[in-house]
């Protein structure tokens, strides 16, 4: 059985590499490092299918140094330590540091990343990590401080066109076929700047054609993709369509639909932390104050995923999904911050009323900072009626409670305190 087209066309050298000219073009920073034969530890951050793993493999082919590869999906602390121990045993005076490439390093837990730290710090290994997630959030600070971060971009149309031309003219299978590409809009749109997805779509379309001459149009590409509903790529258009359907099902209080779209993402290899983040957002945006426990559960789901991992993490995601879908809904908090931001944009930086200002120095006290402020806990029910808004906007209302038991109870409490204001 032949390799997939994307593997057959994987570049072996920088001269074959398409895109990322800002990093590997003539005179660019990574090009200079690779040409010099010495690279420091660094992270490659970018969307799927833009050449992170390929670039690491090119470095392995170019630089005469031991090269180890781990995938964060199926490697643990034990695997990391074994590589480090091997690197130490094979280390000799004046030899180059072995390189350890970790794909999807954002999936490593804190303890797994901690196990790398000492070896990177002492120079036992040179780390190259690839991630689709922002390293600032996913990589521990001590490790991040020892690695330069290089950002890879989605491929532009000119890059995709070059890749398409190369596939048709150099691939051992495609170059033997009579293929004419009349239109490229659908190919490029569905690929979403992802080289691997472009080649997968091309291969899918070509393999489905039975005629001797294969003509590819936008209509044919769209039809072939629609006939293949199992196709899912976490970096492409369907990724955004499915997460949209997932969130809208939760918002619409349909647990069955929500779990179905969750299953589509799990089966498609979606990053579980991406799903968990969206659940946290949905808990605040769509359930909100109608059930504040939803945000606590969603946040606990995110934390538990990092501890438990895969595949058991699917159960945690399912529990949270069903809970959010079946919860009462309110977007009052979401609407309130948008209203407040609109007023801030309209009125600018209004001064803080003097009685609300902090007065840590004698001069500030002499300027009446904090004067006449009433400390709420000195009064009955820990409440005193005083103004907390700038006078120019003191009548503004942002939070409008919605009709559900939790917010109705909150509204009654506010009415007792503020009388006619609510």
pLDDT value for 92: 59
Domain with residues 335-421, CATH architecture: Orthogonal Bundle (1.10)
* Same fold across 157-226 and 237-326: no
20-151 placed in CATH 3.40.50.300: yes
Q: Is the pLDDT of residue 95 over 80?
A: no
Cis peptide before 311 (omega within 30 of 0): yes
Cβ distance 105 to 73 under 8 Å?
no
User: What SS3 class is residue 350?
Assistant: coil
Query: How wide is the angle at C-alpha 283 spanned by C-alphas 331 and 412, nearest 5°?
Result: 50
pLDDT tens digits along 357-381: 877 777 777 777 778 888 888 888 8
Q: How many angstroms separate the first and last alpha carbons of the chain?
A: 71
pLDDT value for 318: 92
At 314, the pLDDT band (50, 70, 90 cuts) reads confident
Residue 295: which of 309, 279, 307 has the closest Cα?
279
pLDDT tens digits along 64-82: 788 888 877 777 778 888 8
Fold type of domain 157-226: Helicase, Ruva Protein; domain 3 (1.10.8)
pLDDT value for 347: 82
Share of the chain above pLDDT 90, in %: 12
- Which residue has 């840590």 as its token pair? 360
Query: How wide is the angle at C-alpha 23 spanned by C-alphas 20 and 29, nearest 5°?
Result: 170
Fold type of domain 237-326: Zinc Finger, Delta Prime; domain 3 (1.20.272)
Domain limits of the chain?
20-151, 157-226, 237-326, 335-421
pLDDT value for 232: 41
Cβ distance 116 to 82 under 8 Å?
no
């Amino acid at each position: 059985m032949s390799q997939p087209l994307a593997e057959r066309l994987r570049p072996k050298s920088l001269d074959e590499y398409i895109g990322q000219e800002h990093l590997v073009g003539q005179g660019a920073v990574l090009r200079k490092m690779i040409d010099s034969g010495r690279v420091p530890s660094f992270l490659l951050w970018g969307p799927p299918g833009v050449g992170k793993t390929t670039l690491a493999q090119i470095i392995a082919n170019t630089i005469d140094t031991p090269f180890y590869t781990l995938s964060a999906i199926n490697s643990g602390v034990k695997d990391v330590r074994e590589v480090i121990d091997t690197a130490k045993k094979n280390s000799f005076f004046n030899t180059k540091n072995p390189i350890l490439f970790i794909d999807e390093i954002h999936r490593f837990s804190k303890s797994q990343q901690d196990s790398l730290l000492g070896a990177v710090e002492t120079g036992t290994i040179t780390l190259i990590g690839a991630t689709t997630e922002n390293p600032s959030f996913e990589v521990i600070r001590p490790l991040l401080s020892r690695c330069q971060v290089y950002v890879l971009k989605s491929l532009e149309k000119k890059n995709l066109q070059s890749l398409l031309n190369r596939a048709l003219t150099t691939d051992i299978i495609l170059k033997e076929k009579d293929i004419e590409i009349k239109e490229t809009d659908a190919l490029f749109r569905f690929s979403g700047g992802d080289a691997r997805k472009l080649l997968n779509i091309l291969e899918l379309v070509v393999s489905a054609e039975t005629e001797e001459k294969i003509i590819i149009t936008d209509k044919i590409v769209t039809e072939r993709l629609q006939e293949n509903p199992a196709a899912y790529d976490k970096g492409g258009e369907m990724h955004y369509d499915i997460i949209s359907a997932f969130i809208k099902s939760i918002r619409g209080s349909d647990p069955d639909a929500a779990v179905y779209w969750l299953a589509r993402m799990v089966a498609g290899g979606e990053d579980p932390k991406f799903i968990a983040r969206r659940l946290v957002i949905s808990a605040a945006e769509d359930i909100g104050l109608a059930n504040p426990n939803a945000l606590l559960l969603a946040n606990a789901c995110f934390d538990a995923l990092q501890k438990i991992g895969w595949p058991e993490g699917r159960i945690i995601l399912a529990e949270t999904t069903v809970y959010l879908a079946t919860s009462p809904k309110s977007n009052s908090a979401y609407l309130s911050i948008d209203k407040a931001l609109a007023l801030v944009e309209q009125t600018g930086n209004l001064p803080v009323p003097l009685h609300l200002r902090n007065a840590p120095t004698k001069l500030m006290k002499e300027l009446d900072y904090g004067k006449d402020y009433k400390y709420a806990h000195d009064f009955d029910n820990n409440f005193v009626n005083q103004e907390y808004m700038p006078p120019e906007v003191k009548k503004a209302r942002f939070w409008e409670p919605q009709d559900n038991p939790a917010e109705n109870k909150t509204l009654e409490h506010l009415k007792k305190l503020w009388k006619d204001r609510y």
